[in-house]
Structures are given as C-alpha cells and as structure tokens.
Amino acid sequence: MTTGTTSTVTAIRTIGTTMPVAPAGSQTCRVYGDPHVQTFDGRKVSFYSTGEFWIVKSFPLAIQGRYMPTPITNGLSVTKVLAIGGDMMEGHVLRISAKFAMWDEEFILTDFPSTWTSASPPVSIVYNDEGDYLQQGREGKQLRVVTVSLPMGVSLQINRWDELGEGDYVNLKIFQHGPLPNQDGQCGNFNGDPEDDSRAALKQRLGSSSAWVADEDLLFKERTPVMKTADPSIDDCAADRMPQAERLCGAQSPNGIPEKECIIDVCFGGDQFAVEDANVEVAVGLAPGPPA
C-alpha cells in the first residue's frame, strides 16, 4: 500500500490575493515523448532521467512510471512501463508497457483487440485502436490504445508504440474529476496553480525534482539500476535554462532529439557547449558532418 505525502510548501501571499482553485469538471494530465508532462493545471515540465518516478501520488491512487532511454533518444528517457496501485486498487497492481499488461502476476490483454474486467476492485480495460494521438508526429500511424477505467471516475488512455528502430514506449493521458487527497507527482498537485508544478517545487515538496519513488513505495518488483556520479544532474537544470538547452541541443542533433549530455553541458556550462558537443561527435565519427 502506498503512502501519501502532504505538501510542506506554504506560499506567502498578500492580503486580498485570490488563492488558486482546482478546476471543476474532468481535467487531464498528459505524459508523452521523452517524457514531457502537461500537468492537470496546464504547466509543461520535462523529466529526462532514468528510474522510477511518481506520476500521480495520492492515498487513493498511485501511478508510477519506469523511465529508460531507447536507441534513438540520445540518452533521454521515455516511459517504458506504468504501474498503477493505491487504496482504490485494493492491494492489486496493474502494470502496462508497450509489450505486456499484467494484473498482479497474471498476463492480460494478450490479444488485439481485447477486453478485461475486475469485479473487485471495479476495473475495466479495453484494448483497441480508438483514441487520441498524444504525441506530435504520430498522426496517421496505427494506434494501439489501452483504455483503463478505475474507481472514483479516474480513467487512463495509454498509447503503445513499438516501431522498428525506435524501441518500445508508451504515452499516457489521465482523466480525473478533480484532485485526489494529498495529490502530487509529476502531473502536479492539481490545485489550479501551474506555477507550483515546476521541478523546483516538486523538490521542495517531495525531496526530488523528478518525483523519485522511494524503495518502500515502489510498485515495481525491482528498481532500474542507475549509476550515481558527482557530475551535475539533468534534473537540477534551472527551469529558465532548460528550454534554451533543449532548443540548442536539438538543433545540433542529427535526428532532432537533444543529447542528454549536451543539455547538461548547456544548463551548467553555457550555450557554447551545444556547438562544442556537436563538433566532438563529428570528430569521433558519432554524428555526420555538414553536407558537402
């Protein structure tokens, strides 16, 4: 069973300032690409690191993502596996990737299309080709969509991708009718204020700018090995530096996807490192040079 963490961040506001109010009606959080997150409150945040992270952390619902690179993401991670638990799951864990789906230890959704249901807790899953494209550049490609209906009006759309040369990953959209108790994670705290969905705010509330999952809360059977170094982490790149690093490094990358090491160099060293990193790759034959 997972545990919730109450926010310890207290905003100082002047008298008469209107406090943010969580939006009414169904709202969504989208997790896509390597991975970018559009939070419930509408802020875009990027999380590039490898490991297991809180997408949604609350008492009733826990959604964790396992993030790892693919052959074409230049060291940046994508969402490889989702794990869904929490009190509403009554001790069960649902795990979904582009290649498999499991209810506890049972493989499910082994055919396409297919459906699966649980009476207790009430969970229904449909696997077909119906749903929205959640990532730019996927339009027109064959969809394989897992739609999960959970208690408390929560539902998920999970798009599976496993194209030749790309590697396997999933994109995710979460639908909720308002915030859950003590909600937090990469999808934000769903309080109507996009400003406190930043990586810096996550670090203040959860002790990690990427919402890293502690061992005692892990819904996966094992943790992804991550080598710890004394070098700067991409998670600590300042919010006002990250967009510039993404733009500069993407422009220097042969496939348009920024190199992880380039982003780190630009964040902590300066803009000139984007060109320097590209020149090094050309010199050692890792990237093509300019056209003749």
- Full-model pTM: 0.80
Only one residue has tokens 């001790």, namely 91
Residue type (1 letter), 153: G
| Dihedral in degrees, nearest 10, Cα atoms 127, 132, 134, 135 | 110
pLDDT of residue 66: 98
Q: Domain ranges in the chain?
A: 27-217, 234-283
Cα distance between residue 212 and residue 205, in whole Å? 12
Angle at alpha carbon of residue 186, lines to 83 and 253, rounded to 5°:
100
pLDDT of residue 259: 84
The answer to whether the Cα torsion of 123, 124, 129, 132 is positive or negative is: negative
pLDDT of residue 278: 43
Distances (CA, A) of 180 to 177, 217, 285: 9, 18, 51
pLDDT tens per residue, the chain (292 residues)?
444 443 333 333 333 444 566 666 689 999 999 899 999 999 999 888 899 999 999 999 999 999 999 888 878 899 999 999 999 999 999 999 999 999 999 999 999 999 999 999 999 999 999 999 999 989 999 999 999 999 999 999 999 999 888 899 999 999 999 999 999 999 999 999 999 999 889 999 999 989 999 999 999 999 998 876 656 777 778 878 888 888 888 888 887 888 878 887 888 887 765 655 444 343 334 444 333 3
pLDDT of residue 274: 63
pLDDT of residue 21: 67
Strand order in the sheet with 36-38: 44-46, 36-38, 27-32, 167-176, 155-163, 145-149, 123-128, 114-118
Residues 6 or more apart whose Cβ sits within 8 Å of residue 120:
90
Asked if the peptide bond before residue 113 counts as cis, ω within 30 degrees of 0, the response is: yes
